[in-house]
Structure 1
Amino acid sequence: MKKKREIRRKRLKLRMKEKIKGILAGIALRIIALFTLGQISPILSACVIIERDGKFLLIERSDGLGYTIPGGIVRYRETVEHCVLREAQEETGYVVSITGFVGVYSALKRDPRFRAVSLAYRGEIIGGTQHSSGEGEACWREPGEVFGHMAFDCEKMLKDYLNNSLNLS
């Protein structure tokens, strides 16, 4: 019983930490946008959709926002492809390869924290062992389990993947 309470306390602390990080990033970028009179470029991010036996590899976010597709922000001296491979391994433990392209997602309010454009790819696992990270718990879920419970525009990405449609906006 005591161990369960300790685990719950650690998860809550981690959720709060991730939530605070997101809020601070959003505030910092809004301040920069103010000082540059709105002339700040969007953040570029990338993610990879991996399907196995009708289930998708997702992250159940530790900040309580719901499920997301493994991915993250492209670093300054990094290609988009490298970002996808790095983020997938950091967040899930799996080594992945890119097998296709799902689309570009640039809706103005796609991420409530800051202005972002995301590129979504198709991928497959080529190695590694599943683990979780500070972002949340890596898990396999069927679409019906997560639709209505996904953060940002990840649900649209997953639906585009399922419909085999290319999104360019």
Structure 2
Amino acid sequence: MKEKIKGLLAGIIFRLIALLTLGQISPILSACVIIEKDGQILLVDRSDGLGYTIPGGIVRYKETLEECVRREASEETGYDVEITNIVGVYSSVDRDPRFRAVSIAYRGHIKGGTEHGSGEGQACWRDPEAVLGHMAFDCEHMLKDYLSGHQCLS
């Protein structure tokens, strides 16, 4: 419930800033990493009930995209990850219903760490077919691009 309230408040604040600046505000930037092991994908089963997401989150002011991916993956799953390539750039205006955001999706692999969950939800490994239709935001689009090997720039 706490994560749902945080998301709603962030959306309200962002929309208020957009209104006050007459829409002259840049989208929020986020990044995530898709990791596959033995045919299963590392996901977060969100605690707010929105479904499964790819580990990742909002880039902080003084960090790079890659630092964000490593931090978010560690916070949400317990794993230390290494980025190996890019899956795509996702900028659809309605990709995240909470606020206007652009996301960079990477592919990567696990270097170490111990799996755990977080306030965001529970880390888990799932077969891609089992989660399609049960993913939050545009994570399903990202996962399909990853599985097809198609690099997305949308």
TM-score by length of 1: 0.91
Match of 2:5 in 1: 20
Tell me which structure has the larger Cα radius of gyration.
1
Match of 1:96 among 81, 86, 89: 81
The CA RMSD measured in Å over matched residues stands at 0.4
Q: Which residue of 2 aligns with 1:80?
A: 65
Counterpart of 2:142 in structure 1 is 157
Alignment of 1:1-169 (within 5 A): 16-169=1-154
**Percent identity among equivalent residues?**
75
- In 2: Cα distance, 1:49 partner to 1:134 partner: 20
Structure 2 regions of 5+ residues with no counterpart? none
Give the number of aligned pairs: 154
> What's the secondary structure of 1:126's corresponding residue?
strand
1:144 CA displacement? 1.1
SS of the residue 1:158 aligns to: helix
1:36 partner amino acid: T
User: Runs ≥4 in structure 1, deviation > 4 angstroms?
Assistant: none
**Distance in structure 1 (CA, Å) of the matches to 2:152 and 2:20:** 33
Q: For residue 26 of structure 1, give the secondary structure of its aligned residue in structure 2.
A: helix
Q: State the alpha-carbon separation in 2 of the partners of residues 122 and 71 from structure 1.
A: 12
**Secondary structure of residue in 1 paired with 2:119:** coil
Separation of aligned partners in 1, 2:9 and 2:68: 22
